[in-house]
Amino acid sequence: MNLQLNPDGSLRHLLTLDGLPRTILTHILDTAESFMDVGEREVKKVPLLRGKSIFNLFFEPSTRTRTTFEIAAKRLSADVVNLNIATSSQTKGEAILDTVDNLAAMHADMFIVRHAQSGAAHFIARNVAPHISVVNAGDGRHSHPTQGLLDMFTIRRFKGEFHNLTVAIVGDVLHSRVARSQIHALTTLGVPEVRVIAPKTLLPTGVEQMGVKVYHDLEAGLHGCDVIITLRLQSERMKGALLPSAQEYFKFFGLTPAKLALAKPDAIVMHPGPMNRGVEIDSEVADGPQSVILPQVTYGIAVRMAVMAILAGGTTA
Partner 1 sequence: MPASLPDANTLITRLADAIAPTLTPNTFIVGIHTGGVWVAERLHVLLRCTQPLGTLDISFYRDDFSRIGLHPQVKPSNLPVDLEGRDILLVDDVLHSGRTVRAAMNELFDYGRPASIRLAVLVDRGGHELPIRPDFAGHTLTVPSNQNINLSRLDDGHLTLTLA
- Determine the number of helices (DSSP H) and then strands (DSSP E) in the chain: 11, 9
Interacting residue with partner 1 among 21, 37, 164, 252 (CB under 8 A): 37
Least separation in angstroms between CB 37 and partner 1:
6
Which of positions 48-67 make contact with partner 1 (CB under 8 A)? 48
Which among 91-99, 182-190, 275-283, 308-316 is the span making contact with partner 1, rule CB under 8 A? Answer: 308-316
Total residues at interface with partner 1 (CB under 8 A): 25
Across-strand partners of 228? 168, 269
Interacting residue with partner 1 among 43, 105, 106, 241 (CB under 8 A): 43
Interacting residue with partner 1 among 33, 79, 193, 284 (CB under 8 A): 33
CB 231 within 8 A of CB 192: no
How far is 127 from 257, CA to CA, in rounded Å?
49
How far is 248 from 175, CA to CA, in rounded Å?
19
Site mask for partner 1 (CB under 8 A), range 3-22, x = bound? -------x------------
Residues in the chain: 317
36 binds partner 1 (CB under 8 A): yes
Least separation in angstroms between CB 189 and partner 1:
18
3-state per-residue secondary structure call for 67-96: HHHHHHHHHCCCEEEEEEHHHCHHHHCCCH
User: What are the C-alpha distances in Å from 84 to residues 63, 89, 90, 113, 249?
Assistant: 11, 9, 10, 11, 33
79 binds partner 1 (CB under 8 A): no
Exposure string for 133-171, b = 16+ CB within 10 A, e = fewer: bbbbbbbbbbbbbbbbbbbbbbbbbbbeebeebbbbbbb
30 binds partner 1 (CB under 8 A): yes
Which among 39-47, 64-72, 159-167, 283-291 is the span making contact with partner 1, rule CB under 8 A? Answer: 39-47
Which positions ≥6 away from 60 have C-beta within 8 Å? 86, 114, 115, 116, 138
The nearer residue to partner 1, 85 or 310, going by C-beta atoms, is 310
Which among 28-36, 88-96, 190-198, 262-270 is the span making contact with partner 1, rule CB under 8 A? Answer: 28-36
31 binds partner 1 (CB under 8 A): yes
How far is 269 from 258, CA to CA, in rounded Å?
14
Interacting residue with partner 1 among 45, 74, 216, 237 (CB under 8 A): 45
Least separation in angstroms between CB 313 and partner 1:
3
Q: Which residues bind partner 1 (CB under 8 A)?
A: 10, 27, 30-31, 33-38, 41-43, 45-48, 309-310, 312-317
